[in-house]
Structure 1
Amino acid sequence: MANTDKKDLFAAYTEDSIRSLDWREHIRLRPGMYIGKLGDGTSPDDGIYILIKEVVDNCIDEHTMGFGKQIDIKVSEHSVSVRDFGRGIPLGKVVDVVSKINTGAKYDSKAFQKSVGLNGVGTKAVNALSTSFKVQSVREGRMKVAEFERGILLKEHKETATKEPNGTIVTFVPDETVFKNFKYIPEYLEKQIWNYCYLNAGLIINFNGQKYVSKNGLLDLLQRITDAENIRYPIIHLKGEDIEVAITHENQYGEEYYSFVNGQHTTQGGTHLLAFREAFVKTVREFFKKDYDATDIRASICAAVSVRVQEPVFESQTKTKLGSQVVYEGGPSMKAFVLEFLSKALDDFLHKNPTTAEAMKKRIEQSERERKELAGIKKLANERAKKANLHNKKLRDCRVHLNEEAGGKDKEEYNSKRLSTTIFITEGDSASGSITKSRDVETQAVFSLRGKPLNCFGLTKKVVYENEEFNLLQHALNIEDGLDDLRYNNIVIATDADVDGMHIRLLLLSFFLQFFPDLVRNQHIYILETPLFRVRNKQETIYCYSEEEKAKAVKKLGNKPEITRFKGLGEISPDEFGKFIKEDIRLQPIILSKETQINKLLEYYMGKNTQNRQEFIINNLRYEKDLVAE
């Protein structure tokens, strides 16, 4: 840097450069520090879901302390209302609790024990990031109400008498200037609510008029997400003080875990999940008196683990990863606590249920055989991939990765970017060229396919290593050994919206569902929506994603505007493409419902049942002229 530039910078750094932000300004300026990424609702970890979670967490904490057996949640297109039947916020502190940082009862361990919300920030973030925020508290026949706009108090009502039962009601509308074009996806909300129920057996949650309740905790969770025909033995369900686990093995690839702390779904795991994985391996080895490889023991496992911890330490405000090393002050380490529980409870269970133990042993030994069969080809394939990675023309990488954490002053900003990391899987050089030139090099990578990938349905994992393209894709994502080191949070299939493009989508989805189903289950896979039409006149350009949108655009612009029909991604210029993969990106998430059975799904659409599929196509075929007429 030139000396003159340094002098200018030095002179510009004055007392006026130092700013003190109040709580709401800081939240609105740096929302990522409080709610992770923003997003528009297409991803389950987008900010609009974190806002709901922060409010519901407080209700759960009340329930955990023994107050309130029911929570009512109403979510309309944009508005959210959450009502618990707990103790209610002390009326004299209603305004402070939702608008003053470091104010709350979570600092008093007598009032809240083993709660998830410890730092009193959650509801303040919801308040600051909402255009409308209303809090009502009812205690012993008295009610207090306060209303805010973007964190600014509009009106503090006087206390009034009421016949309402005790509790707290929070109603808010997320700020559309922060969460642009957002929408709630019901499946994400339903999954969030079911998790609360599994972790709080007996708690009733009414969501938009529908009742959710779990009687058997984590056992219900595994029964809901697994196919009874696909598990190798009945689900093992074990409960102890401050810990609950449910375990089974399936027939498919990968390891599937659901981990929780104090009723919080820790989607990125943490010390408790690491402790469980190690303790499970150790217990199984000791029970069978055989030194099985850890990967064989855990291959195809489906497990849920929940722990209760005093004053948990999470690695971010969104509480997706536990950092606590001990269960409570002066108590055992997390590792020792989980090991002590499993080494007794699981060992006792396997001794009492020899049929289950034998089925588990057969599954482990099957995994061992499969691993040894793959060993030779895996080594060669990895060596090829390693060489290719040095000059991998298929991958245009980005600078930030999901599996890399930053330290120092830029830690929060870097770690919030990690949640936005995206890899676009494209077909052909023209499409990948447009995306590469217009992408954000910080967080967006591009992987280019040569053409149509192989239909891998019915094939073994050997094909992942024999097929160079699949092997390079596996290495680009870094998922060979599971999702722990996944490099991108969002895997976006970006193909043309024609027959060939749709076919490539199906082939890629078959690959992920067959060999890496955890990517789909954990909502990492998306389809990129790109515009079908460009409608413009000299004053305005509108991009349309459907015939309906095109008709509205033509009506708006009037006087016969120019209409362009995009046939492929390669036709869209890099400058235009930048609009569709950044702020205004439209993603269609791939969501597996609880009824979805992966093997049957793949067999129907990608297998050899030609006659059934042919009849389905004939019965459901729709012509373009019919679609246009609609």
Structure 2
Amino acid sequence: MSAIEAIRKRPGMYVGDVHDGSGLLQVLWEVVANAIDEHLAGHASRVRVTIESDDSFVVEDDGRGIAPDVAIRALTELHDTNTLDGHHPHVHIGLHGVGLVVVNALSESLVIESRRGGRIHRARFARGVCVEPMHDDGASDMRGTRISFRPDPEIFSWTRVDLTRAQSRIDELGAFLERLSIELVIAERRMRPPVGIAALLRDPRGLHAPVLHRATIGDIGVELAVVLHDRPWGSVRTFVNTMETRDGGVHLVAFWSALRMFFAEASEPERFAHAVVHVSSADPAYGAPMRDELVDPRARRPVVDATLELLRSLADAHPDAVARVRELAK
């Protein structure tokens, strides 16, 4: 049995539920992850994701343009490395990392275009089978890769993507990848995400403007956004490698621990803070296959140290806000 046949026989093993819309989004994110790999490797500065009116998708980047021979292998062969050619971008943003072959296998139609070396090469597939081999289609003064595809209605019982969830994920990527220009176009309606991790705060309003902090300790990167407020309800959103960890984990506990250390005499100071905690790691450890909880103990100390450093800076810049929280949390 070929890789394409195996994927089409058991699609849920590769993208999750093909009936509730989540698998459909996973297919899209696999293609977006391929484009963002080019950015993380230092070769692309723009990614555009288009959702067409016929429920097809287009993902374009201005990277190097995928090599024609690599493109065919990527679309027809399963591989077990981070990327097909074995290179390691700093952080891969895909959830499952199943690759383009799964997208191709589960698409009614797929066209890949590579603009590279002053030429444009194109190939066309139908349900994973090549119907138009990769060929030179003329000169091009542009560069990058363009993949257009339509999820197969024989596989997905619902082929209309959840626009709210799609926009939310693009917003998250735009917040974390500040040097990347990424946009979502929905039937010609352009939607650009806000820039910066503070855009992910559940409520950015507070006693001061959001305070940001970044640190790298060992091989763990930490990015934080915090705002203190005087209303007794708080929230913390946690992420690992740009993916939200909805069940929290080590980084959430570490943030809370640092907050309580800083507000040593206060009772539940977390009620008066909104925060975003983002951890970057080449090989994070999760508590479940869906990666909703970080269990990697290496993240604890970097998050504690980074949080304390942020809070000290916050206290220097906004002493009245810190004093107000101490008063409210007695």
* TM more than 0.5: yes
- Identify the match of residue 253 of structure 2 among 256, 269, 278: 278
Once residues 20 and 96 of structure 2 are traced to their aligned partners in structure 1, the CA distance between those partners, rounded to angstroms, is 26
Q: What percent of counterpart residues are identical? A: 24
- 1:325 matched to which residue of 2? 296
**What does residue 615 of structure 1 align with?**
none
Higher relative contact order (CA 8 A, sep 6+): 2
Is the contact made by 1:118 and 1:311 (CA closer than 8 Å) also made in structure 2?
Answer: no
Residue 24 (structure 2) aligned to one of 42, 48, 63: 48
How many angstroms does 1:227 deviate by? 6.2
**One-letter amino acid matched to 1:282:** S
Residue equivalent to 1:303: 275
Q: 2:3 aligns with which of 23, 26, 30?
A: 23
Give the one of 61, 66, 71 matched to 2:42. Answer: 66
List gaps (5 residues or longer) in structure 2.
none
Which residue does the alignment assign to 1:179?
Answer: 156
| Structure 1 residue 174 displacement after superposition | 0.8
Partners of 2:6 and 2:286 lie apart in 1 by 21
Matched, 1:221 2:200: yes
Q: 1: distance between equivalents of 2:12 and 2:320?
A: 50
Shift of 1:80: 0.5
Bigger Cα Rg: 1
Please tell me whether residue 207 in structure 1 is matched to residue 187 in structure 2.
no
Q: Secondary structure at the match of 1:159?
A: strand
TM-fit CA distance, 1:148? 1.7
- How far off is 1:165 after superposition? 1.9
Q: 1:111 to 1:144 in 2, by over 3 A?
A: farther
The Cα offsets for residues 150-180 of structure 1, whole Å up to 9 and x where unpaired, read as 2222221323442142211111111112221
The Cα offsets for residues 90-126 of structure 1, whole Å up to 9 and x where unpaired, read as 2221110122111667266755232234985232221
- Report 1:447-458 matches (<5 A): none
CA separation of 1:340 and 1:127: change in aligned 2, threshold 3 A:
same
More helix by share: 1
- How far 1:343 moved relative to its partner? 2.6
The answer to whether the Cα contact below 8 Å between 2:66 and 2:114 also exists between their aligned partners in 1 is: yes
**TM-score (norm. length: structure 2):** 0.84
1:125/1:351 CA distance change after superposition, 3 Å: same
The aligned residue for residue 310 of structure 2 is 345
Closer, same or farther in 2 for the Cα pair 1:114/1:248, shift >3 Å? same
Which of 98-107 and 160-169 deviates more? 98-107
CA distance in 1, matches of 2:204, 2:122: 47
TM-score under structure 1 length normalisation: 0.46
Displacement of 1:347: 2.9
**8 Å contact 2:44–2:62 — kept in the other structure?**
yes
Query: Does 2:63 match 1:86?
Result: yes
Amino acid at match of 1:265: M
SS at match of 1:106: coil
Cα 1:120/1:53, change in 2 over 3 Å: closer
Q: Structure 1 stretches of 5 or more lacking a match?
A: 1-20, 327-332, 366-630
Alignment of 1:96-107 (within 5 A): 96-102=73-79, 106=83
Aligned-residue offset at 1:350: 2.4
Find the aligned partners of 2:76 and 2:87 in 1 and give their Cα distance: 23
Q: Tell me, in whole angstroms, the C-alpha distance in 1 between the residues paired with 2:62 and 2:111.
A: 17
* Aligned length in residues: 322
- Within 2, Cα distance between the matches of 1:275 and 1:103? 28
Residues 36, 350 of structure 1: alpha-carbon distance in 2 compared, 3 angstrom cutoff: farther
